């Protein structure tokens, strides 16, 4: 009876703890990683519709605008839901948020050098991704750091 109760209250296995950590990381920082993957796929490897005019490109690019808006919304949620107790989460959020901006910057340099010829669709994707990434990096980083500063001041006021 005692051994049965002991087995029911045992600590989670290494795989379960690793899975929980991965899910926690993915829920907090996964959106920029997914966005980066989609950008790499569109700008170098995959989805490139055959478009010849700007109008055709805009018809195909509407899903990218929706995806960029969803990305910005999920990043806003991540900033508001982040823990205020430590700096490490903010630093990790900033570093991971820079990934899509680095991909867009690299694609732009490749395109300008002529190493990666992009069609109109890909250029529009690059511009939309740059705008969404800049909103994330500039505005949400500022907002996150401001919230952390206010939280630290609030803790100091209430404990002092």
Distance CA 116, CA 19 (A): 38
pLDDT of residue 46: 67
Residue with the two structure tokens 């996150």: 144
Count CA atoms within 13 Å of residue 158 on its CB side. Answer: 6
**pTM of the predicted model as reported, rounded to 2 decimal places:** 0.69
The list of the chain residues with pLDDT below 70 reads 1-10, 20-29, 46, 82-87, 89, 147-160
pLDDT digits (tens, 9 = 90+) for 45-77: 867 777 777 787 777 778 888 888 888 888 888
Query: What percent of the residues of the chain are helix, what percent strand, and what percent coil, each to the nearest 5?
Result: 85, 0, 15
pLDDT of residue 103: 93
CA dihedral of 93, 95, 99, 104, whole degrees rounded to 10: 110
Q: Note the pLDDT of residue 15.
A: 76
**Cα angle 43, 74, 86; round to 5:** 110
* pLDDT at site 149: 67
Domain locations in the chain? 29-159
């Amino acid at each position: 009876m005692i051994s049965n109760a002991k087995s029911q209250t045992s600590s989670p296995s290494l795989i379960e703890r690793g899975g929980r950590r991965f899910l926690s990381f993915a829920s907090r920082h996964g959106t920029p990683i997914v966005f980066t993957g989609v950008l790499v796929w569109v700008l170098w490897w995959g989805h490139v519709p055959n478009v010849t005019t700007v109008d055709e490109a805009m018809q195909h690019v509407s899903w990218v605008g929706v995806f960029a808006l969803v990305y910005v919304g999920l990043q806003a949620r991540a900033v508001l839901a982040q823990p205020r107790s430590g700096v490490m989460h903010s630093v990790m959020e900033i570093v991971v948020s820079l990934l899509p901006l680095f991909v867009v910057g690299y694609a732009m340099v490749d395109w300008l050098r002529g190493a990666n010829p992009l069609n109109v669709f890909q250029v529009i994707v690059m511009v939309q991704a740059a705008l969404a990434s800049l909103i994330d990096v500039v505005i949400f980083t500022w907002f996150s750091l401001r919230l952390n500063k206010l939280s630290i001041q609030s803790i100091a006021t209430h404990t002092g």
